[in-house]
Amino acid sequence: MKLQRPRGTEDIYYENAKELTALELILRNIASQYNFHEIRTPIFEGKDLFVRSIGTETDIVSKEMFELLDKKEREFVLRPEGTVPTVRSIIENKLYGKYELPLKLFYIGSMFRYERPQHGRLRQFNQFGTEVVGVKSYLLDVEVILLGYNLLKLIGLEQVTLKLNCLTDSDSRPKYIAALKEFLSNEKLCDDCLTRIVNNPLRVLDCKIDHDKFILAPKIHEYLSPEEATYFNNIQNVLNKLAIPFELDHKLVRGLDYYTSLVFEMTTLDEEGKELTLLGGGRYDHLINEFDQQLNYPAVGFAMGLERILLTLAKNGIKLATEDELDVYVIVLSEHARYFASSLLLLLRSNGLCADTDYLNRGVKAQFKSSERLKAKNVIIIGDEELKKNVVKIKNQATGKEHEVKFEKIINVLMKGKA
């Protein structure tokens, strides 16, 4: 039997796992600076939840969901995104009645989409996402953008482009759709778009194949109502004031149906100079109301792909994690010493030191080699001679200096070196 992980998935270990964990730690820290609180929802949900909210003509629902049947033939899916489960949880647990409004939530976790695996595109991937729920203010849109923008800066990504667009939710939406349909009627469209143009014409702009063809399409932000236009202008004015550069992109509609107003993306260039979207989001003011007509909670948020961030960091030669190193490697010269090493290791570790030893019964030379490979700052050498005298030898690897140290002084000496 050939052992092989499923297509489009990754095994993450050692350096890569450390890098992912370091990234997650930074995300948690910045989220808490902005006063966001974590939410963890199940990895699978009822299928209907996503079909109803993301939209049947979206790529996610029409072809990317991992579907499951339980023993009673009920339909579930592995979650393809994090906003809808978060909204489900807010409503189910009445979070709006329990915590300060706006709810400021973030999540980190695996999402699943049945896509053709390629550079920066997996079937299981990790997202960090934020959702601000319960209050409509352009300052919250800005806050969410700032969180995303600043965290990319914080991890060292300088070449990031922020793109904005604003969808209209007003009476002029049908007018815009009519103008768009008119424009598209003169274009040769892919098979998917021939369906989209009937069921959900806006989705055509999100086409992966023909996206660049639509540069001359009618611009939705020219169809905004006066209030919507003011709202969008306010966002741009604050961003200008804060010296956050952005571009307007009228083709940006995002791959989900629930956005109603601002939509935005942050992109960078990959190795081949192709655009890579790191995060995307927007305002979705009706989603909660569509699930529960009693509730009127506007919302804004974004989701960011962690694998794409890691790829971009690697491309730029940026490492977030510190290198693995040991405080102490214990070298043992006899069976007795090996026995003693167990309690010494316990002592070292219970004092917060990272410590390890040899378990392969190897000679001194090989043990020294190991200590170098493991980047031990200190080596402790124990042989029968030392045991008789109740001492160990401690060698500082940086200075090369070696001392005999009494058992009871070991921790003192090592801690001094650490300080």
Q: Which amino acid is at 265?
A: E
Residue choice 20, 54, 65, 122 for contact with ligand ATP (CB under 6 A) = 122
Residue choice 278, 320, 330, 331 for contact with ligand ATP (CB under 6 A) = 278
The distance of closest approach from Cβ of residue 120 to ligand ATP in the complex, given in angstroms and rounded to an integer, is: 6
Residue choice 36, 106, 107, 125 for contact with ligand ATP (CB under 6 A) = 125
> Is there a contact between 393 and 404 (Cβ–Cβ < 8 Å)?
yes
**Closer Cβ to ligand ATP, 125 or 340, answer by number:** 125
> Is there a contact between 303 and 266 (Cβ–Cβ < 8 Å)?
no
Q: Which residues in 60-89 contact ligand ATP (CB under 6 A)? A: 81
* 219 binds ligand ATP per the rule CB under 6 A: no
Stretch that binds ligand ATP, among 21-29, 117-125, 147-155, 286-294 (CB under 6 A): 117-125
The token pair that represents 238 in the structure block: 């604050």
Stretch that binds ligand ATP, among 122-130, 175-183, 332-340, 353-361 (CB under 6 A): 122-130
Distance between CA atoms of residues 233 and 94, nearest Å: 33
Identify the CA nearest to 300 among candidates 235, 216, 375: 235
Q: Find the helix or strand (DSSP H, E) in which 215 lies.
A: none
The distance of closest approach from Cβ of residue 295 to ligand ATP in the complex, given in angstroms and rounded to an integer, is: 24
> Is there a contact between 35 and 104 (Cβ–Cβ < 8 Å)?
yes
Q: Which residue is nearest to ligand ATP (CB)?
A: 305
* 255 binds ligand ATP per the rule CB under 6 A: yes
Residue choice 131, 228, 307, 386 for contact with ligand ATP (CB under 6 A) = 307
The distance of closest approach from Cβ of residue 43 to ligand ATP in the complex, given in angstroms and rounded to an integer, is: 16
Residues flagged as binding site for L-histidine: 81-83, 113, 127, 131, 254, 258-259
Distance between CA atoms of residues 255 and 131, nearest Å: 17
The distance of closest approach from Cβ of residue 315 to ligand ATP in the complex, given in angstroms and rounded to an integer, is: 14
Distance between CA atoms of residues 197 and 168, nearest Å: 18
**Closer Cβ to ligand ATP, 55 or 305, answer by number:** 305
Distance between CA atoms of residues 383 and 334, nearest Å: 6
Distance between CA atoms of residues 115 and 151, nearest Å: 27
* 283 binds ligand ATP per the rule CB under 6 A: no
Count CB-CB contacts under 10 A for residue 278. 22
Locate tokens 């571009």: which residue?
247
**Closer Cβ to ligand ATP, 120 or 134, answer by number:** 120
Residues with Cβ < 8 Å from 252, sequence gap 6 or more?
A: 163, 164, 165, 205, 263, 264, 265
Stretch that binds ligand ATP, among 118-126, 314-322, 342-350, 363-371 (CB under 6 A): 118-126
> Is there a contact between 196 and 203 (Cβ–Cβ < 8 Å)?
yes
Contacting positions for ligand ATP (CB under 6 A): 81, 113, 115, 120-122, 125, 127, 254-255, 277-280, 303-305, 307-308
